[in-house]
Amino acid sequence: MVQFILFRIVQAVATLVVLSAAVFFGTDLTGDAALAMAPGDARPAEIEQIRRNLGLDRPAIIRYFDYLGGIFVGDFGRSYSKRLPAFDLVAERIPNTVQLAFSALLIALLIGIPLGVMSAVKRDGILDKIGKTVAILGMSMPQFWLAIILMWVFAVYLNLLPTFGKEGLDPRYFVIPAFSIAVFTMAGFMRLTRSAMLEVLDSEYIKFARMKGMSEYLVIFKHALKNAVIPVLTFGGISFAGLLNGSIVVEVIFSWPGLGQLMLEGIRTRDVPIIEATILVSGFLYVLMSTIVDIAYAYVDPRIRYG
C-alpha cells in the first residue's frame, strides 16, 4: 500500500510539473506582457524598461526554472496590476470556489442518488422514465444556458433570489449558481446509481434476502444500496474535483468571487502571474482530489493496488 501511495504521489507531482510548463510557455507565447502594460504612447525605451523590471528580458527557459523553483515554496510571482503576491490573491478566492463546488456536490448527491435508486427499483415504470429524462436533460444542457434561465426565472421574474455576488454564507446566494453546476453531476449520479443498483438487485444474495421475507425497504437500502454505492462515491470524489474547475463560467455569470472570476480579471488585464497561479492552483486541486480518490479506492479494493 505504501508503494502504491508513493507511486500516486510521484504521478501527481509529475503531472503538476508538466502542467506548469504548459501554462508558463503557453502564456509566454500569447504576447509581450510589457506591451500590454505600457501606455499607448510609450516609447520603445520605456517598454524595454518595463520588460526588464518584469524580468522578461531573460530567456524563457531560465525564467521557467526560476518560476518552477518559486512554485515549490509558494511564490507565484507578483500581480502586474495589483502589485501583490499572486498566490495571496488566489488564496483569498479558494474558499469561495470550494464552498460553491461543495454546495453543488451536495445538491447532486441529495437528488441524483435517490432518483437513481427509484429508477432502478421501478425499472421501466413511470419513475424510471422520469429519471432517465432528467439524466438526459442534465447531461445535455449547457451550464451557462441553464444559469441564465434560472437567473431570469427566480431572480428577475419571481424576485426570490439575488442575481450576483456573495454575502458570507447566506444560502440565497448559493442556490442558483450551485444548482447550475450541479445538474450535470446530478445526472451522472443518477445514471451510475441506477446501473449499479440494477446489477446488485439481480444478484443471488438479494434474491435470497427476499425469499427470507425481509422487507423491501431493508433489501434496497441496507443490502443493495450499501454494495452499489462504492462506485458512486468514487465518482463523487472525481466529480468534486471537476466541480472545482467547472464553475468558471458560472462564477463569471453570477460575479461569484472565486478562482474563475479572478482568472477572467487576469486575462482581461493581461496579468500573467494571476493567470498562471489560478490555472495551477485549479490543476493542483483537481490532481489532489483525484489522488485522494485513487488511494481511498485502493484501500477499499485491494485489486486496484495489485492490478
Q: Hunting for cell 479558494 — which residue is that?
A: 94
For residues 241 and 249, the answer to whether their CB atoms sit within 8 Å is no
Quick one: pLDDT at residue 40?
65
Closest by CA to 247, choosing from 184, 194, 291, 186, is: 184
Amino acid in position 204 = E
Please report, in tens digits, the pLDDT of each residue of the chain (307 residues total). 777 778 888 888 898 889 888 888 887 777 666 766 666 667 777 777 877 777 777 788 888 888 888 888 878 888 877 888 888 898 888 888 889 989 999 999 899 888 888 888 888 888 888 888 888 888 888 888 888 898 889 888 888 888 777 887 888 888 899 998 888 889 888 888 888 888 887 777 777 777 777 777 777 777 777 777 777 777 887 788 778 776 778 888 888 888 888 888 888 878 888 888 888 888 888 888 888 877 777 676 665 555 5
| Phi then psi dihedrals of residue 78, to 5 deg | -110, 140
**Helix runs in the chain, H state only:** 2-29, 33-37, 44-53, 60-71, 86-121, 126-140, 143-150, 172-201, 204-211, 216-218, 225-246, 248-253, 259-269, 272-300, 302-306
Rounded to 5°, angle at Cα 240 from 239 and 241: 90
Amino acid in position 293 = V
- Tell me the three state secondary structure of residue 173: helix
Quick one: pLDDT at residue 107?
92
What 8-state DSSP symbol labels residue 72?
A: T
For residues 101 and 111, the answer to whether their CB atoms sit within 8 Å is no
DSSP bridge partners of 265: none
Domains for the chain: give ranges and CATH numbers: 2-86 (no CATH), 90-306 (1.10.3720.10)
